[in-house]
Amino acid sequence: MPRGVPEKQAHPRWALRNTKGFKEKRKMKKRCSGILMPVSSLPGGYGIGSMGQAARDFVDFLALAGQSVWQILPVGPTSYGDSPYQSCSAFAGNPYFIDLDQLAADGLLKPEDYAKENWGTNPNYCDYALLYQKRYKVLRKAYAAFLQQRPVPGYDTPYSDDWYRFTFLSDAWLPDYCLYMAIKEENKMCDWQTWPAPLRLRDPKALEEFRTGHADELGFWAFVQYEFAKQWQALKAYANSKGIKIMGDIPIYVAADSADAWAGRELFEMDSEGHPRRVAGCPPDYFAEDGQLWGNPLYDWAYHKRTNYAWWVRRVRHALSIYDILRIDHFRGFDTYWAIPAGDENARGGKWEQGPGMDLFRALRTALGDLPIVAEDLGEIFDSVRVLLAESGFPGMKVLQFSLNGTDSVDLPHNYPAHCVAYPGTHDNNTLRGWLENETTPAQRKQAKAYFALTEQEGEITGLLRGVLASPAELAIVTMADWLEKGSEARMNTPGDPVGNWQWRVAAKDLTPALARKIHEMSARYFRAEPLPEAEPKKEKAPAPQPKAKAADAKEEKTTAPAKKAAKSAK
């Protein structure tokens, strides 16, 4: 069994010794910074952030703030629990993110189809139950209008060349996803493992009969993905035109109730009935005495190796077609992972197993070339994980909130390696204000005040952000909630708590030019952005010209001159 290492041995410099692999000589990259803002958290109407004008306005805000990266959370469809890390597809996009105003602009909706709907009473939080009730009803109206369009003159079909191109490029996953969603709808959205056996086990005759009888439903789910892809690519192109790269995110595992698990049982440790033999989780530790039981099906890595990791190549190729940079969650699972027998009530009965290691990443590099990947290497990390990270050449992550333990922690900013991404906190952490107020001890607050030289004049939050931006890390990412100095009400996720997560949304009025200027100035101070242009000095006003003599005065001077001359002669 792999063993943990003391923190002194775990210093990032340690991992650079005696490593072999395809790590290239890395040129020093330009320092830059970005903001973590989930699409769901964008402002706007209709219950949740979308890929419409508010997203473009946020891109403009990023550019004005001198930022280079917009980091988001996974954009796949969410299910029970609303977590973007438990999606029903590793390839599909979230229908909630489709912008309704854009559908109206495309002639697929009328404003009255959606503007008068009740999308919730609090614009600062997502009501996912209400979204499920309302959003699909509106999208089905758009689909009905889509079927009436005739984009190609002379052809009685709603399908354009763009449609055929999308379905062709998505053929490896789209048909199975649409079939999965249609069967799920037919079975009252129940988990696929409870479906009738012929459909659950993908009997060819049963699937063909279902396709024949539900062609319109299959078309609806394909339409939703087409509209998502069209709007997403337009948003990405806009961001790139403003000099903003999008950092996306994929979880290492897929959800148990997903199109991937249903249609690709050979990819996972499953029995002949489609039930998982073992599932994913974490071992018992200080924070959870029974460990964490996630329930995701584990990969059959022997099968993936035999196929030269073809499914992973497709998955990463797809992700890099929609993102500029890719963060992979739970990177340590590629080295060693905790395997728990299916049916166990907790994670105590699990054991460590060996992951694919560099073999996977060599296959990805061979198929896809350079990999702009960020490895989420947080949590309990073994020596072997650090070696894998160093061999891969991927930057890892550092989080300020993990640093205040009274020692020269590797998570203190002065210890960050250049080749990493620095955060004050991630989506799984409290906001900085919430952390300071609710989760730190007096000793930690004292250390923070001394280490970061915090003052009332500058403000505690600004001082902590200064520490992250000043660090050696090539890329620094700050959550939008931390730039706004929000409290715990803006926390995105509390691990282990199944309710109240993924809901926070920003108010448009908070994204001010003054805040953008502050972010730009702090980023530029630590050479993460170009300096703001200096204001031109005010020019001094030239002295006013003397007024010319009036015509009457000139005439008087002319008439009195002879008299003055005569008086002078008499003297």
User: Does residue 376 surpass a pLDDT of 70?
Assistant: yes
pLDDT at 547: 60
- What is the enclosing helix (H) or strand (E) of 522? helix 513-525
User: Does residue 450 surpass a pLDDT of 80?
Assistant: yes
Question: Is the entire prediction scored with pTM above 0.85?
Answer: yes
* Chain segment 530-557, per-residue pLDDT in tens: 999 887 666 666 666 666 555 445 444 4
pLDDT at 540: 65
User: Does residue 2 surpass a pLDDT of 60?
Assistant: no
Question: Which tokens sit at 77?
Answer: 């469809």
376 as an active site residue: the answer is yes
In the sheet where 373-375 sits, what is the strand order?
A: 373-375, 325-328, 245-250, 69-71, 32-36, 475-479, 420-423, 396-399
Q: How many CB atoms lie within 10 A of CB 165?
A: 10
pLDDT at 518: 98
Note whether 37 and 480 are within 8 A (CB).
yes
* Chain segment 393-428, per-residue pLDDT in tens: 999 999 999 999 999 999 999 999 999 999 999 999
pLDDT at 498: 84
User: Does residue 242 surpass a pLDDT of 90?
Assistant: yes
pLDDT at 545: 66
User: Does residue 493 surpass a pLDDT of 70?
Assistant: yes
Q: Which of 329, 353, 383, 485 is flagged as catalytic?
A: 329
What is the identity of the amino acid at 41? S
359 as an active site residue: the answer is no
Residue % of the chain over a pLDDT of 70: 88
Q: Which of 300, 324, 380, 428 is flagged as catalytic?
A: 428
pLDDT band for position 47 (cuts 50, 70, 90): very high
**Mean pLDDT value across the chain:** 91
Note whether 491 and 438 are within 8 A (CB).
no
pLDDT at 80: 85
Q: Please state the three-class secondary structure of 427-485 as a single string.
A: CCCCCHHHHHHHCCCHHHHHHHHHHCCCCCCCCHHHHHHHHHHCCCCCEEEEEHHHHCC
3-state secondary structure of 179: helix
Q: Which of 99, 227, 249, 376 is flagged as catalytic?
A: 376
pLDDT band for position 326 (cuts 50, 70, 90): very high
Closest to 174 (Cα-Cα) out of 206, 209, 222, 208: 222
* Chain segment 181-220, per-residue pLDDT in tens: 999 999 999 999 999 999 999 999 999 999 999 999 999 9
Max CA separation in the chain (angstroms): 138
161 as an active site residue: the answer is no
Note whether 193 and 275 are within 8 A (CB).
yes
* Chain segment 499-515, per-residue pLDDT in tens: 899 999 999 999 999 99
C-alpha–C-alpha distance, residues 371 and 34, integer Å: 20
* Helix pair angle (215-241, 128-148), 10° resolution: 100
